[in-house]
Structure 1
Amino acid sequence: MINLTLRQLRSVQAIHRHGTISGAARTLGLTSPAITLQIKQLEETLGLALFDRSSGGMRLKEAGACVLAAANVIDTALHDMEAEIEALKGLRRGRIRLGVVSTAKYFAPSVLAAFADEHPDVDVELTVGNKSRIFDELRDYSIDIALMGQPPRDLPVRASVFGEHPLVIVSRPDHRLASQHKIARNELLGERMIARERGSGTRRSLEVFTRDVPELLDDRLLELDSNETIKQSVMAGLGIALISAHTIATELDLGRLVVLDVVGTPIRRQWFVVTRADRTPTPAETAFWQFLLRRGERFLPVLPKS
């Protein structure tokens, strides 16, 4: 039996997440020398190096990936055990590690506030990131539940729909197309399209939507990595954008953006609540899942009728 400690395993997890000893030390509340010692002792025990060390940071070697996978499984098992023990004691408290894609951050706080009213003793740790990051967090068992537009296909997951997720094309109120109706896609030619980065769910929807008019995504395309920057760019007159209707409620109310009446929009997508299928949900996670299916849709902003 290999003799190792939870502190050593958590050091590996933290270094993998942050890429540096110093970042891991801040997360774990330890000093950098202490983290270095934990890794050195673990490498001596295993007889293999766990990381490639370079000026750009630390990256897992094959042995390190094996240790990380085991650490994630152990961490999840301990988390599940803690929740089950609390349930056996009759306690109603628990902890949920929730990850949401960046578009969901516009309604997630309202969801969490309402859930907290029903379950005040359940702590929720929130992580916000792009789709790739949330997929990685699920893959590494770093989160328990995710809110996203499309579940991953390369992981064993359980997923349920809790609401609609419309995508719309927006412009400034004084745009030449703002007052027109039934705008054909080819009427958008000549406009600079502002889009999210490759790999995002919204970008994928835009690529499908413009498949018949590929010129819309020519070299005039402006690619940005956040919804906030996209909205500011549209309001500044840099172009038009396909964006989640759930990110623009405030700007529509203030008259800073308008939804263009483009044929084929809104693009109707869905919001999913997702968890890994290869782990047992805790009582707290089950309560959150059921809460979303029962009440989640009411927290989604409503697209105004044109």
Structure 2
Amino acid sequence: MNYTLHQLQVFLKIVETKSITKAANELYLTQPAVSIQLKNFQDQFDIALTEVLGKQLYVTDFGKEIAGMAERIIQEVEAINYKTQTYKGILSGRLKLAIVSTGKYIMPYFLTGFIKHNPAVDLTMDVTNKAMVISSLENNEIDFALVSLLPDKLQVEQEILLENHLYLVGNKEEKFSSKPYKRSIFDSLPMIYREAGSGTRSVMENFLEKSKITVKKKMELTSNEAVKQAVIAGLGYSIMPLIGIHGELVNDSLQIIPVEGLPARSTWRLIWLKNKKLSPTAWAFLEYIRKNKIEILHDNFGWVEEFNKE
């Protein structure tokens, strides 16, 4: 057999995506190029790695076995590269993060300086819903997770990053007073919710329940961006994190409606499994955050505190 590392990488991506087209897109290759690599790899085995039924590609049991071994081979090759960099005095390795969708407004600012000073570090960051983030953490698939609410059943360590403030938000079609409204204002507002399980949804529902407020639920959407666009379009109102609507407040496409008891609060925090043995790369990142957090907050999130003083 004479398969190449590139063939292993292509095959793993096909197994992951279960599609030649999707694999080609993610690898920035043409579809014919991926098909050729798969054929060349398959030609070295007497047993089928994949099969196509209808228009769907399936990975055979044998193919799954080969994929598992291919993944271990690639990990060993990466380890060789990282070890070589380490002997040169260069921090290297893979930093794996999973963050909830609203966290995309925060996490890049804590990563930029670290990656810039450590270009040999490979970053993997999955931006997804809270359930998937917690699942990745529980299965020890990542180094750190970024969440606004701590998981109920996991023992974790944490590093506090930033306080999260949530306000009632609407578009600019209707004029509202700058004086805080009674909580009864919710009686007349159609509300847009995040999906069940999201941190934003939990904070919103906690505020409504504690305030004994019953609202008219207009719709439920699966991302902060979707909720934001729905509010801008005039489909309803929502309680949203300030961190995710700064641009829309500045360009005057959204407004905050002051209400007694708001903003609701939670805390953005970086968490990792208790007793987890962090890699040198993960430890270096954690130390970087601890050393530079105040400066990062001042340079990139000073507007949050200024806004909350208004």
Aligned to 1:189: 187
| Closer, same or farther: CA 39–92 of 1 in aligned 2, 3 Å | same
Structure 1 segment 50-61 matched on structure 2, within 5 A: 57=56
- Code of the aligned partner of 2:144: I
Q: Are the counterparts in 2 of residues 97 and 125 from structure 1 also a CA contact under 8 Å?
A: yes
Aligned to 1:263: 260
| Closer, same or farther: CA 252–134 of 1 in aligned 2, 3 Å | same
Q: Are the counterparts in 2 of residues 273 and 289 from structure 1 also a CA contact under 8 Å?
A: no
Q: Are the counterparts in 2 of residues 196 and 223 from structure 1 also a CA contact under 8 Å?
A: yes
Structure 1 segment 133-282 matched on structure 2, within 5 A: 133-135=132-134, 137-138=136-137, 143-150=142-149, 152=151, 158-173=157-172, 175=174, 177-181=176-180, 183-184=182-183, 186-211=184-209, 213=212, 215-218=214-217, 221-275=218-272, 280-282=277-279
For residues 250 and 209 of structure 2, the distance between their equivalents in structure 1, rounded to whole angstroms, comes to 32
Q: Are the counterparts in 2 of residues 84 and 283 from structure 1 also a CA contact under 8 Å?
A: no
Aligned to 1:103: 102
Structure 1 segment 37-56 matched on structure 2, within 5 A: 44=47
TM-score when normalising by structure 1 = 0.72
Aligned to 2:35: 32
What is the percentage of aligned positions where both structures have the same residue? 28
For residues 240 and 16 of structure 2, the distance between their equivalents in structure 1, rounded to whole angstroms, comes to 30
Q: Are the counterparts in 2 of residues 22 and 32 from structure 1 also a CA contact under 8 Å?
A: no
CA RMSD of aligned residues (A): 4.2
For residues 123 and 250 of structure 2, the distance between their equivalents in structure 1, rounded to whole angstroms, comes to 31
TM-score when normalising by structure 2 = 0.71
For residues 232 and 254 of structure 1, the distance between their equivalents in structure 2, rounded to whole angstroms, comes to 14
Q: How many angstroms does 1:202 deviate by?
A: 1.1
| Closer, same or farther: CA 60–32 of 1 in aligned 2, 3 Å | closer
Q: How many angstroms does 1:132 deviate by?
A: 3.8
Equivalent pairs counted in the alignment come to 296
Worse overlay, 188-197 or 170-179: 170-179
Q: How many angstroms does 1:288 deviate by?
A: 1.6
For residues 34 and 238 of structure 1, the distance between their equivalents in structure 2, rounded to whole angstroms, comes to 48
Q: Are the counterparts in 2 of residues 101 and 129 from structure 1 also a CA contact under 8 Å?
A: yes
For residues 61 and 189 of structure 1, the distance between their equivalents in structure 2, rounded to whole angstroms, comes to 56
SS in 2 for 1:198: coil
Q: Are the counterparts in 1 of residues 203 and 265 from structure 2 also a CA contact under 8 Å?
A: no
SS in 1 for 2:86: helix
Q: Are the counterparts in 1 of residues 49 and 59 from structure 2 also a CA contact under 8 Å?
A: yes
Q: How many angstroms does 1:294 deviate by?
A: 3.3
For residues 72 and 128 of structure 2, the distance between their equivalents in structure 1, rounded to whole angstroms, comes to 23
Worse overlay, 233-242 or 171-180: 171-180
Worse overlay, 157-166 or 128-137: 128-137
For residues 45 and 37 of structure 2, the distance between their equivalents in structure 1, rounded to whole angstroms, comes to 12
For residues 208 and 43 of structure 1, the distance between their equivalents in structure 2, rounded to whole angstroms, comes to 59
| Closer, same or farther: CA 33–106 of 1 in aligned 2, 3 Å | same
Q: Are the counterparts in 2 of residues 171 and 235 from structure 1 also a CA contact under 8 Å?
A: yes
Worse overlay, 274-283 or 89-98: 274-283
Worse overlay, 6-15 or 200-209: 6-15
Worse overlay, 81-90 or 191-200: 81-90
- Code of the aligned partner of 1:109: P
Q: How many angstroms does 1:250 deviate by?
A: 1.9
